[in-house]
Amino acid sequence: MTPTQARSMYRSQLVPGETVSLVRGFGSPHARQVDGLPARMLKAGELLVAGLMQGERVLLLLAEDVAASELEAPQINDRVLWNGKALAVKFIDDTKRRVAGELIAYELYLAGA
Q: Which domains are present in the chain?
A: 3-111 (2.40.10)
The pLDDT, as a whole number, for residue 6 is 94
Q: Which residues have C-beta within 8 Å of that of residue 27, sequence separation ≥ 6? A: none
Q: Please check whether residue 22 is in contact with residue 38, taking contact to mean a CB–CB distance below 8 angstroms.
A: no
pLDDT tens for 61-89 read 999 999 999 888 999 999 999 988 999 99
SS3 64: helix
Whole-model pTM?
0.85
The pLDDT, as a whole number, for residue 13 is 84
**Residue 7: φ, ψ to 5°:** -60, -45
The pLDDT, as a whole number, for residue 112 is 82
The pLDDT, as a whole number, for residue 25 is 92
Which residue numbers in the chain have pLDDT < 50? 45
